[in-house]
């Protein structure tokens, strides 16, 4: 069931909807919705949020008027707060409601949290470079009533087309994911979809962002924990870590919440912040997901407590840091903060979850550093280790799966061919790098139990 919400946090009326969000999951509710809740003008900026597919969360949130408890889980205890910035919730298939919000004159901001894989479905391994002929949205331009699309870009194109037909003004589209240059990528994909479907779009400004806050999947016991600590029944709590960061670059033509007063940072170039986070935090996650699982670990905290994994992490960070444009003291402080976050034993961030969609994640988390190191004549051991561990995950019984046994050594020739094939899928230019392939094959042997 979907219905408008009437009450927000603390019993105040729900704010009027001026923002639209796609991806009603835990990260959005711990990040963008949290920043909006803490903005001093939150009472003017309600969010209408749509799920990607599931309707179960919509029903649970609607039953409690969109208000939910955010559990901030530090190493020494939990903090609880009520968040009420979500003013309406909808299932992903509610195309009529999706287009209706785009037609509203006071819509100002559209945000997205859809993960790397959500931008261009079936686009191949490199999500940062989807094909120029992405499948068009299933849209009826004349009627303007169908927003169903094969891609997120198709849904955005349908919305912008409906807005233009309604005479609506410009909006800001804010991509909140782990892809570099996500604003420009979104713009390109939306325009390609519009061209393929013959749509004319309303004006939009595409904002690039770097987002960071670890938000693990909720555990069954979280609802009972919230009830015991607060005395409130909550069927949709969110658990997150204390750390949060949001860097934005771009224009908001008709306004936005004062997110900067809640800690967000507005910059003229987000690329350095994107690279720092992608290579150090996300690249470190991928290293632990593949190599740490080979040592029998199941969570980030377990893996980073292992001296061998911690040493591998330091090696990878040293390679990546050489190509980041921040002072060394600032990078050292950032690395320590990431290490502290990884080590938080009360955040259960599973390696199996991080290991998903590696072929989409590694091109932006690992390959830029690998290419830079190869360009200077180096063979970076940290990057090689990530690729070798990922290769074992891809081509042998997956060590991060509960139902799989330990990986055993395969014939060198088969591993070499597998390495060449895997590298070609990530970047065809790497498939001819014999020195890199030899290093990956050798590393697979050292990683095997």
Q: Is the pLDDT of residue 358 over 80?
A: yes
| Per-residue pLDDT tens over the stretch 249-266 | 999 999 999 999 999 999
What's residue 149's pLDDT? Answer: 59
| Per-residue pLDDT tens over the stretch 398-436 | 443 333 333 344 456 778 888 999 999 999 999 999 999
d(CA 264, CA 267): 10
Average pLDDT, the chain: 87
What's residue 120's pLDDT? Answer: 58
Averaged pLDDT for residues 109-115? 91
Averaged pLDDT for residues 83-97? 95
What's residue 138's pLDDT? Answer: 33
Largest pairwise CA distance in the chain: 66
152 alpha-carbon distance from chain centroid: 14
Averaged pLDDT for residues 362-381? 96
Q: Is the pLDDT of residue 267 over 80?
A: yes
Averaged pLDDT for residues 76-105? 95
Nearest to 35 by CA among 177, 14, 27, 25: 27
| Per-residue pLDDT tens over the stretch 325-356 | 999 999 999 999 999 999 999 999 999 999 99
Q: How confident is the model at residue 10 (pLDDT cuts 50, 70, 90)?
A: low
Least confident window among 148-152, 156-160, 276-280, 339-343: 148-152
d(CA 377, CA 360): 26
Residue with the two structure tokens 């909720």: 218
What's residue 402's pLDDT? Answer: 39
User: Can you read off the two tokens belonging to residue 256?
Assistant: 């936005």
Nearest to 110 by CA among 162, 63, 69, 41: 162
Least confident window among 69-83, 136-150, 255-269: 136-150
Averaged pLDDT for residues 266-293? 97
DSSP summary character for residue 7: B
What's residue 147's pLDDT? Answer: 39
d(CA 215, CA 109): 23
What's residue 286's pLDDT? Answer: 98
Averaged pLDDT for residues 371-380? 96
What's residue 220's pLDDT? Answer: 87
Least confident window among 42-46, 133-137, 348-352: 133-137
What's residue 117's pLDDT? Answer: 66
- The H or E element spanning position 17 is strand 17-22
397, 399, 400, 403: CA torsion to nearest 10 = 60
Q: Is the pLDDT of residue 148 over 50?
A: no
What's residue 448's pLDDT? Answer: 82
Q: Are 21 and 113 in contact (CB under 8 A)?
A: yes
Averaged pLDDT for residues 238-252? 97
% of the chain with per-residue pLDDT over 90: 77
Least confident window among 215-229, 328-342, 359-373: 215-229
Angle formed by the axes of helices 307-321 and 367-375, nearest 10° = 60
Q: Is the pLDDT of residue 298 over 60?
A: yes
Residue with the two structure tokens 């693990």: 216
Q: Are 170 and 205 in contact (CB under 8 A)?
A: yes
What's residue 436's pLDDT? Answer: 96
Q: How confident is the model at residue 150 (pLDDT cuts 50, 70, 90)?
A: low
Least confident window among 24-38, 124-138, 235-249, 417-431: 124-138
């Amino acid at each position: 069931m979907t219905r408008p919400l009437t009450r927000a946090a603390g019993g105040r009326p729900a704010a009027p909807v001026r923002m639209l969000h796609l991806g009603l999951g835990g990260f959005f509710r711990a990040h963008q919705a949290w920043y909006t809740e803490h903005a001093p003008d939150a009472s003017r900026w309600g969010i209408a949020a749509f799920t990607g597919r599931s309707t179960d969360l919509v029903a649970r949130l609607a039953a409690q008027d969109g208000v939910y408890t955010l559990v901030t889980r530090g190493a020494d205890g939990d903090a609880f707060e009520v968040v009420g910035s979500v003013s309406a919730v909808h299932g992903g298939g509610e195309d009529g409601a999706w287009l209706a919000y785009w037609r509203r004159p006071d819509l100002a901001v559209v945000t997205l949290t859809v993960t790397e894989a959500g931008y261009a479905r079936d686009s191949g391994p490199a999500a940062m470079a989807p094909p120029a002929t992405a499948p068009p949205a299933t849209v009826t331009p004349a009627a303007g009533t169908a927003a169903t699309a094969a891609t997120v870009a198709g849904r955005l194109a349908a919305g912008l087309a409906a807005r233009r037909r309604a005479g609506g003004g410009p909006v800001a589209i804010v991509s909140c994911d782990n892809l570099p240059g996500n604003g420009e990528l979104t713009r390109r994909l939306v325009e390609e979809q519009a061209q393929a479907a013959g749509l004319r779009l309303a004006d939009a400004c595409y904002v690039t962002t770097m987002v960071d806050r670890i938000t693990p999947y909720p555990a069954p016991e979280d609802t009972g924990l919230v009830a015991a600590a607060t005395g409130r029944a909550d069927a949709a709590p969110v658990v997150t870590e204390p750390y949060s960061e949001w860097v934005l670059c771009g224009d908001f033509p008709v306004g936005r919440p004062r997110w900067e007063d809640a800690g967000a940072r507005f910059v003229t170039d987000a690329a350095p912040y994107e690279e720092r986070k992608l290579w150090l935090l996300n690249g470190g996650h991928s290293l632990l997901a593949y190599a740490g699982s080979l040592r029998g670990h199941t969570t980030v905290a377990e893996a980073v407590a292992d001296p061998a994994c911690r040493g591998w992490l330091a090696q990878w960070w040293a390679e990546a840091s050489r190509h980041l444009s921040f002072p060394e003291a600032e990078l050292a402080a950032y690395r320590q903060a990431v290490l502290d976050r990884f080590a938080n034993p009360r955040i259960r961030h599973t390696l199996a979850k991080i290991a998903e969609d590696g072929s989409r994640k590694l091109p932006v988390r690992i390959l830029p550093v690998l290419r830079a190191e190869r360009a200077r004549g180096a063979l970076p051991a940290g990057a090689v280790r990530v690729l070798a561990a990922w290769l074992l995950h891809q081509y042998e019984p997956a060590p991060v799966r509960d139902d799989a046994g330990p990986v055993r050594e395969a014939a060198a020739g088969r591993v070499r061919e597998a390495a060449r094939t895997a590298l070609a899928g990530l970047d065809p230019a790497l498939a001819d790098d014999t020195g890199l392939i030899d290093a990956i094959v050798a590393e697979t042997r050292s990683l095997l139990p």
